[in-house]
Structure 1
């Protein structure tokens, strides 16, 4: 994403002219067989298909959508690469895309290098092993003013567990129920172990330089926290907030709803200068970090049913109730800017549960884990075909 474009965009809609933040996604997804066996093709995919990037392990592959304001266009940008990737996999044999954010049916005991010569990949394999062989979605929102971006990162950091709760999609690993709704975030090696709430852009620069000097971070990308500032020359030149906490949301309608909740909250932040954990919380900054990290782990375990502690005063509140309150608080901002219809599926997520909860219900009803995954693979293909045909046919032809 280019710095010059990641700001705001004017959008013409049925209700007139709206200003929306530019948004983009980084999508990691597994490849494999219809039976749910995950098989790595990223070296071949990245060689043959433009727009795809390899991860250290070959079993998942990443694509990035261009920055865009309109949710309708974002929907097409999410679907088009998947359609292309699916067709390519079919040209190799009976292969498909596999939902979920962990190696649901295995094998987490072996690391399958996508590029054996890459030194950073070597470091990742030797340091973290297959804990990083996960699939996720990173949501990028354009904010070019550095201090506003830092304030946004502070707010989204303490509320990141809510987005994790909505997106949880990894209750299985190696054919077993793990006890997590997001096994991915439960085991993922957050790095560095302690990341502060950055009080300013200068604080972020100084902290990053210190981590690089001590080797806690190997490079500027080696900041694996729930939220981070991003840009074309980190930590100095920044232009977007990157929410990294979410499991892979393969339903694009649900993903856009989660994104709409985030964008509406950021518009509220832009209009309320006091909406800042460092100003509104009764807790000090260190306590906020500890509370937030604990909330992330609680959301990883029980997602929407988790008991969390609110950043304002530490009071107990369920993730579901907190999201419901946040929805009511930001709904008017989505209405003002013409994207309320994309926000409203959050209510369906709360009502029907996230992917992990749906999968666990199916398993508890008697399906094997393999059968749950196989049904999800088939449902993903059917939904993708329907969306590609009905919503953005010219883009995927």
Structure 2
């Protein structure tokens, strides 16, 4: 069924620094020296984007190749790639501009400060028909908290444990503060035009929410749904597992909109659904897999871990038929052992310093990067949660 797979692509933001976990900014120099890399407003992190491709093995190769080039360039300067999505060891007191002449960067620095100095990964899934695209936006927004629960990797800031699992999502300035559940393409266009006219958005890119429509000529020409809520996922296989989970949920939606489109399958109003989704996102940022969320279908309270188990149970036959079951398997370890934030916090409670935790993860990232190859997991397609 590979011909039926959705195209997908990734925007990956990374911190660079020393092997002890201290951030060192080199974004402008790296972007000038390496093709495919672009700067963020603060020079301590930079971004690369993979080409759209439906095949998961191909995407694994596309995710790894820029990382390996960047790592080689960094090694000549005594630097490396860092895990996590916040300035774990500091310093969040100051903004370090990557391009002092860029007026948009100046606006970001003055309006938001280091709240935006985070690393993350954005998942783009291709849909070109407008009704399915906006249905996908609704479903993914109502379940975005599950994706954050799987990916949370930012429990530290400025050398301390913040008490959250995704400090990144708690501090990042959602803009505008209230974003509706878009009813259709026309609703989205009108709302965008109103925000731009009112100044609550500076430009068409200035829609910072968990899930948004995307395309080459927003708001009119759209061709993908962009999931923006995930923390940085250091392990590309886990990133692809989360992507496969989201894609399979969209297949369920496309096959049976009445059962999976929140606009059709929930008794809540669109405004109430938007409020529910945002509240769930905040809860997942605080306790990730152990957070108590509100199910958009029934209104019942359920932990993120239990909700994920239920959804994977329901989509597993589809995963097997489509050949995506092997790509889902990394989710088993997350649900069993915890995400990166949960594992780090457990080590920290046992007395390990943040420096030691990050240093170990830096080594793990480099070792795994050398051994990964673009093939699915070599294991039987057994139900990982059975």
C-alpha contact 2:257 2:264 (8 A) present in aligned 1: no
Out of 269, 272, 279, the residue aligned to residue 256 of structure 2 is: 272
2:283 pairs with 1:281: no
**Is residue 119 from structure 1 mapped to residue 103 from structure 2 by the alignment?**
yes
- Where 2:302 maps in the other structure, the secondary structure is strand
**Is the 1:283–1:313 Cα contact (8 Å) retained in structure 2?**
no
The alignment partner of 1:107 has SS state of coil
- CA distance in structure 2 between the partners assigned to 1:233 and 1:336 by the alignment: 36
Q: How does 1:195-210 map to 2 (within 5 A)?
A: 195-210=179-194
Alpha-carbon distance, 1:391 to partner = 5.8
Kept in 1, the 8 Å contact 2:152–2:341? The answer is yes
Cα deviations by residue, 1:260-284 (Å, 9 ceiling, x for unpaired): 0001001111101212111111211
- The equivalent residue for 2:168 is 184
Conserved? CA contact 2:11–2:123, under 8 Å: yes
Q: Find the partner of 2:92 among 108, 126, 130.
A: 108
Q: Tell me which residue corresponds to 2:12.
A: 27
What secondary structure sits across from 1:120 in the alignment?
Answer: helix
Summarize deviations over 1:299-351 as a string: whole Å, max 9, x none. Answer: 00000000001111211000000000111111222222211100122122101
Match of 1:239 in 2: 223
Any conservation in 1 of the 2:41–2:99 contact (CA below 8 Å)?
Answer: yes
Mapping for residues 378-397 of structure 1, pairs under 5 Å: 378-387=363-372
Question: Are 2:241 and 1:257 equivalent residues in the alignment?
Answer: yes
C-alpha separation between the residues in 1 aligned to 2:298 and 2:272? 11
The answer as to whether partners of 1:288 and 1:311 remain within 8 angstroms in 2 is yes
Q: Secondary structure at the match of 1:80?
A: helix
CA distance in 2: counterparts of 1:190 and 1:247, whole angstroms: 15
Gap regions ≥5 residues in structure 1: 1-9, 12-17, 393-397
Q: Secondary structure at the match of 2:5?
A: strand
**Counterpart among 209, 212, 220 of residue 228 in structure 1:** 212
Query: Within 2, Cα distance between the matches of 1:303 and 1:174?
Result: 21
Distance in 2 (CA, whole Å) between partners of 1:313 and 1:332 is 24
Q: Per-residue deviation at 1:292? A: 1.2
Contact preservation (8 Å) 2:122, 2:228: yes
Structure 1 residue 340 corresponds to structure 2 residue 340: no
In the alignment, the residues of structure 1 paired with residue 28 and residue 328 of structure 2 have an alpha-carbon distance, to the nearest angstrom, of: 37
Task: Determine whether 1:130 maps to 2:114.
Answer: yes
In structure 1, the residue matched to 2:380 is: none
| 2:384 alignment partner in structure 1 | none
Matched residue pairs, number? 375
Alpha-carbon distance in structure 2 between the residues aligned to 1:310 and 1:321: 11
Measure the CA separation in 2 of the matches of 1:149 and 1:161.
Answer: 19
- 8 Å CA contact 1:21–1:141 kept in 2: the answer is yes
Give unmatched runs, 5+ long, in structure 2. 377-386
Residue 141 (structure 1) aligned with residue 125 (structure 2) = yes
* Corresponding residue SS for 2:123: strand
Please identify, of 176-185 and 360-369, the stretch whose mean Cα deviation from structure 2 is larger: 360-369
Trace 1:298-309 onto structure 2 (pairs within 5 A).
298-309=283-294
Q: Does 1:318 align with 2:303?
A: yes
Query: 1:150·1:198 contact (CA, 8 Å) conserved in 2?
Result: yes
| Aligned mates of 1:69, 1:278 — CA distance in 2 | 28
The counterpart of 2:25, out of the listed 37, 40, 44, is 40
Q: Which runs of at least 4 in structure 1 moved beyond 6 Å after TM superposition?
A: none
How far did residue 215 of structure 1 move? 0.7
The alignment partner of 2:257 has SS state of coil
Match of 2:281 among 274, 296, 321: 296
Match of 1:6 in 2: none
